A and B are shown apart, each in its own frame.
Chain A
Amino acid sequence: MTGLFAEIQAVAGRYPEPKSAVLPALRLAQEHYGHLTPEALREVASALGTTPAYCRGIASFYDMFHLAPVGEHMIDVCTNASCALVGAAQVLEAFERELGIRAGETTPDGRITLRSAECLGGCGSGTVVSIDERYRQPVKPEDVPAIVEELRRG
C-alpha cells in the first residue's frame, strides 16, 4: 500500500460516502504523480471503492485536473468575454511569442504549460491570468516578458 493510498483513505473517512471524496482524492493523486495517469486513476478508484471510469469522468470535467503531462508551471489566460474585450487575445499571443509555443502546449524543456481558459471569475479587471493557480490582474501584453522571465528564473 502506498502512502497515497492511505492518505486518500484518510480523507475519504471525513465523508459519509467514500466516493464523495473523489475531488480531494484526485487532487492528492495529481500532486503525487504530476498528472492523472491511468495508474493514478486506478489507485484513487480502489482507495474509494469505485471504478477508474468514474474517476476519469470526474477528472476530465475539470480543467485543474490533468490527464496528460503538463509543465512545472501552468499559465492560464482567460479569453472569455470580459477579458476578450480588454485585449486577452493579445495577452495570449504575447505569451505564445515569449514562450515559443501555442496555447495548449508545453515548452520543450517541460517547464511551462500555456493554456487559454474560460472565465476565471475576475471580470472586473481583465485580462486575468492564472499562474500556478494564483491570479495576476490586470495583465497587459507588455507585462508578459517579465512574467515569463520570473517563471524561468523561479
Chain B
Amino acid sequence: MSAPELVGGSAADRERIAHELVTVTIDGRQVQVPKGTGLVEAAAAAGVEIPVFCYEPRVGAGIGACRMCLVEIEGMPKLQTGCTTPVTDGMVVHTAGTSEQAAAGQSATMEFLLLNHPLDCPVCDKGGECALQDLSFRYGSGKTRMTFRKRSLEKPIPISPTIALDRERCIMCFRCTRFSQEVAQDEELSAVNRGALSMIATFEDEPYRGPFSGNVTELCPVGALTSTQYRFKARPWEYEQAASVCGLCPVGCNVAVQSREGRVQRVLSRNHPEVDRGWLCDKGRFSYSHLYSEERILTPRRRGVRELEELGWEQALDELEGMIERAQGEVVLALSGSETLELAYALAKIVRQGAGSDRVVLPEQAADALDPFRVPISALAEAEEIVVFEECPVLDRAPLIELWLKQARRNGAHVTRIGPSGDIQRGRGEAALACQELAEKESALGKRLRAAERAILLWSGGGGAGGCHLAALAHALGLHEKEGSGALLLPASPNARGVAEAWAAAGDENRQPRQIGLLVVSGDEAASEPQVRQLAEHARATVALTLFAGDSGEWADLVLPATGYLERSGTMRNLEGRLQRLRGATGSPARRELSWLAELAGRLGVDLPGSEAALFTELSAKVLDGISLASLGDRAPLPPRVEAQTFEAARAESPPTLLGGPLELIRYRALFSGPEVEHVPELSFQRPAAEVEISPEDADRRGISGGNEVVVRSNGTRVTLRARINAALLPGMVRVAAEHCAELARGVEVSRP
C-alpha cells in the first residue's frame, strides 16, 4: 500500500507536519499516521476501507458532497464525513463495519443516491467497473422505496465529440467540475441549477474544449461521463491489458492499453505519481483509433510508373536488400525520435553494420548536459520558483507538464515564463541569451531563484544546444546541490535522447558518405522535416517506414508499413531521463518492424536478435551500463543524478536577421496535430484553427481586427488566414500552426486582402 497522502497546505507546512505522528483507533485498530492525514487515508493505513464517491485527493481536498464516507467519531454527536476530517491524536472512529449508526447512515445515503438513478447498468459502459454498482452491492439495501417516477432527461448528450454525458446517471459528486476548475483550470464544465435539478453542463451547446478533458471520463465514479469512442465496445472483464507508456510526447505518461479481439479499445491512465499523477492529455487518450484508419498502410508499396503499388513482403525485402547493396557506404538514416530504443538500434545496426555508413539525421538534440540537475516531473508541484524558457508553448511539446505547472501555481509557486508571449517577453532565438543574462546579471528573478530552496528551470523550444545553456544557468544557481531543484529540457520528440543512444550503441566508426545512395526515413516526424526532404531530393533512392502515406508517400521509392507506439514493445527515455517500458497491445494489422528487420539483417550478414528483450540486453551492455529490463519495472524509477562538472557553455548569440518580411513567423507544431490526430474524426474539433496570432500593436498598424481575413505572405507564398489578436504576444512576431504555414519563410508580411 502506498503511503497516506496529506491533504492541503503548502509544501513547507506539509513537510513540517509530516514529522509529527498521531495515533488513531479505527474499528478497534490502532495506527500511527502523520498529523494532518485525512481520515480516509488513515483508515486505509489501518486496513479499513471507508467507501467514497466524491473524494478524490487529486482534484483537491474533500468537499463532503456525496455523504458515502459517513463514520461515527467518539465525542461527536452526529455522523461525520471521513473525507473532510483530518485525524487528531487519540481519535476513536467507528466505520459502518463496527457502528450501526454509521451503517444506517451509509445505507440511507445509498438510497438517496439511487433515488433518481436509472439503474440502466445492462446498457451502461461503466458496468463492471462502476463505484456506484460496487458500493450499492456492498452497502445498499437491495430494495427501493421510491414509488414516484424518476427524473428523466434526454441522454446521452455530447458535451464534446469525445465525451458523452448521461445526466440521469450523475450522482453530483463534482469530481468532473473540480477537475475542470482546479486541475485543468479551463472552467468549461460547471454544475447548473440547484438541488434536485442540478446537472453538469458546458456553456450553451459549446463543446468541452480543452487538452485534458478526457480525464473526466476516468474520474467520474459512475457512467455519467463516458468516452464516445469506447461506447458499447467492450466490457471491462473482456479486454486484455498492456501496461505501457504513451509514445506521443517526451512526458511518457504511463498508460493501460486495453484491447479486445486484437484491437485497442481504449487507453487509460496507469498513474505514475512522479510522471503523470494519473492524468493524460486528450491526444494520448483518444488518438488510438488512428491505428484502424482505412488510410493506414499495411502492406509494402513501391513507386510504380505512376503511383505507389502494393507488393509482398518477400519482394519488398528483396528490393530493400538490393537498394542497400547498391548504396554500400552511402546510406543515410533519418530517425524521428518516436522509435523505441530497440527499433532505432535495429535500424542503426543495419545501416552502420550492414551498409557500412555512419551518417544519421537525429531529431532535435537532447543530450546529457542536464543529468546533474535531474528531478522527477512531480517536483514541479513542490517548487517555489519555476522559470520556463518557453519558445514553444509547453502545452504543445509536453502537455502534462502544463498540468504540473498549474498544480505548482495552485500550491503557491511563482511561475515565470520567458518567451515570445511570456511574462518576460523575449523574441525567438533569444532564450539562450535570456538564460545567460539570468546567470550573469543582477535581477529580481535571479535573486528569488538563488534564495529559493526548490527552484526548477524548464526549456521548451529548439536551439538549447542539448540543454547546455540551461545547464550553465542551473550550475550558476547551484541547483545541483539542492534537492527538489533541477532543470529539465522538453524535447520535440518522445524519445529523442533514446534514439541517439541507440545510434551510438550500434557502432563506433564515423564513415561519412559523399553522396546519398539511399535515404532511410523512419517515421512521420522525420518525413516532415524540411532537412530530410532536402536530403530526399538528393538521394538516389529513398525508403520510408510510415503509418500513413502522408509526406513520404510523395517521394519515397519504397514505403514500408510501420507499427504505432501502442503496438510496439520496447523502451523509451522520457524528458526526465527515465527509461520506461512500452508493452505492445495484442495484435497489429501491420507486420512488426523487428521481425522483418531481423530477416533483412540475416540477408545482409548483420547479427540482429529478433526480440525486443535481446536487443535491449545488447544495447544496454554498450550504452546503458548493462541495466536490466526487469529493473525498470512497471513504474520506472528515475536514474540518479550524475556528478556536476564545471563546463564552459558556448556564448549565446543574437538570432540572425530576418529575410522575406518584417514580421517573424513562429511556426509551431500544435498539440492536436500530426498523423495520429488527423486520422481520428472525433479529435478534429481540437485541431488548430486556420488563424494567425498577431500582437495588438502590429494589428493596429495594419488596420486588422480580430476575426478579419488576412493574407500572410513571404517570397511568393501567400496564405489566407483569420487574424487573432494575442495581447501577450511580442510585437514583431506572428504565430501560425505548422499545418497552416505552407511554405512561408521566417520573415512574413500580414495585410488585409
Binding site for B on A (CB under 8 A): 38, 41, 50-54, 56-57, 60-61
- A-B pairs with the 9 shortest C-beta distances? A57-B190, A53-B203, A60-B192, A51-B187, A52-B203, A54-B187, A53-B190, A61-B194, A60-B193
Q: Which B residues are in CB contact (< 8 Å) with A54?
A: 181, 187, 190
Q: Given A53-B189, A53-B206, A56-B192, 9 other A-B contacts at CB below 8 A? A: A38-B203, A50-B187, A52-B203, A53-B188, A53-B201, A53-B203, A56-B201, A57-B190, A61-B192
A56 and B190 alpha carbons, distance in the complex (Å): 8
Which of B177, B187, B191, B203 contacts A41 (CB under 8 A)? B203
A51 and B201 alpha carbons, distance in the complex (Å): 13
Query: Would you call the interface of chain A mostly helix, strand, loop, or mixed?
Result: helix
Q: Which A residues are in CB contact (< 8 Å) with B189?
A: 53
How many of B's residues come within 8 Å of A, CB to CB? 16
A53 and B210 alpha carbons, distance in the complex (Å): 13
A18 and B204 alpha carbons, distance in the complex (Å): 23
**A-B pairs with CB below 8 Å: how many?**
36
Contacting pair A51 B188 (CB below 8 A): yes
A38 and B194 alpha carbons, distance in the complex (Å): 19
In the complex, the chain A residue whose C-beta lies closest to that of B200 is A57
> Among the interface residues A41, A50, A53, A61, which one has the most CB atoms of the partner chain B within 10 A?
A53
- In the complex, whether B586 has a CB less than 8 A from a CB of chain A is no
Q: Which B residues are in CB contact (< 8 Å) with A38?
A: 203-204
- In the complex, whether B186 has a CB less than 8 A from a CB of chain A is yes
Q: Which A residues are in CB contact (< 8 Å) with B201?
A: 53, 56-57
Query: Would you call the interface of chain B mostly helix, strand, loop, or mixed?
Result: loop
Q: Chain B 192-219 against A: per-residue CB contact (8 Å), 1 yes, 0 no? A: 1110000001111010000000000000
A61 and B191 alpha carbons, distance in the complex (Å): 9
Q: Can you list 25 A-B pairs with a CB-CB distance of less than 8 A?
A: A41-B203, A50-B187, A51-B186, A51-B187, A52-B203, A52-B204, A53-B187, A53-B188, A53-B189, A53-B190, A53-B201, A53-B202, A53-B203, A53-B206, A54-B181, A54-B187, A54-B190, A56-B192, A56-B201, A56-B203, A57-B191, A60-B192, A60-B193, A61-B192, A61-B193
Q: Chain B 149-190 against A: per-residue CB contact (8 Å), 1 yes, 0 no? A: 000000000000000000000000000010001000011111
Q: Which A residues are in CB contact (< 8 Å) with B202?
A: 53
Q: Which B residues are in CB contact (< 8 Å) with A60?
A: 192-194
Q: How far is the CB of B464 from chain A (nearest CB, A)?
A: 32
Contacting pair A51 B192 (CB below 8 A): no
Q: How far is the CB of B624 from chain A (nearest CB, A)?
A: 47
> Among the interface residues B186, B189, B192, which one has the most CB atoms of the partner chain A within 10 A?
B192
> Among the interface residues B181, B187, B188, B193, which one has the most CB atoms of the partner chain A within 10 A?
B187
Q: How far is the CB of A153 from chain B (nearest CB, A)?
A: 35
Q: Which B residues are in CB contact (< 8 Å) with A61?
A: 192-194
Q: Which A residues are in CB contact (< 8 Å) with B181?
A: 54
Q: How far is the CB of A151 from chain B (nearest CB, A)?
A: 28
A51 and B181 alpha carbons, distance in the complex (Å): 10
Q: Which A residues are in CB contact (< 8 Å) with B206?
A: 53
Q: How far is the CB of B551 from chain A (nearest CB, A)?
A: 38
Q: How far is the CB of B117 from chain A (nearest CB, A)?
A: 22
A47 and B194 alpha carbons, distance in the complex (Å): 25
Q: Chain B 317-334 against A: per-residue CB contact (8 Å), 1 yes, 0 no? A: 000000000000000000
Q: Which A residues are in CB contact (< 8 Å) with B190?
A: 53-54, 56-57
A56 and B191 alpha carbons, distance in the complex (Å): 9
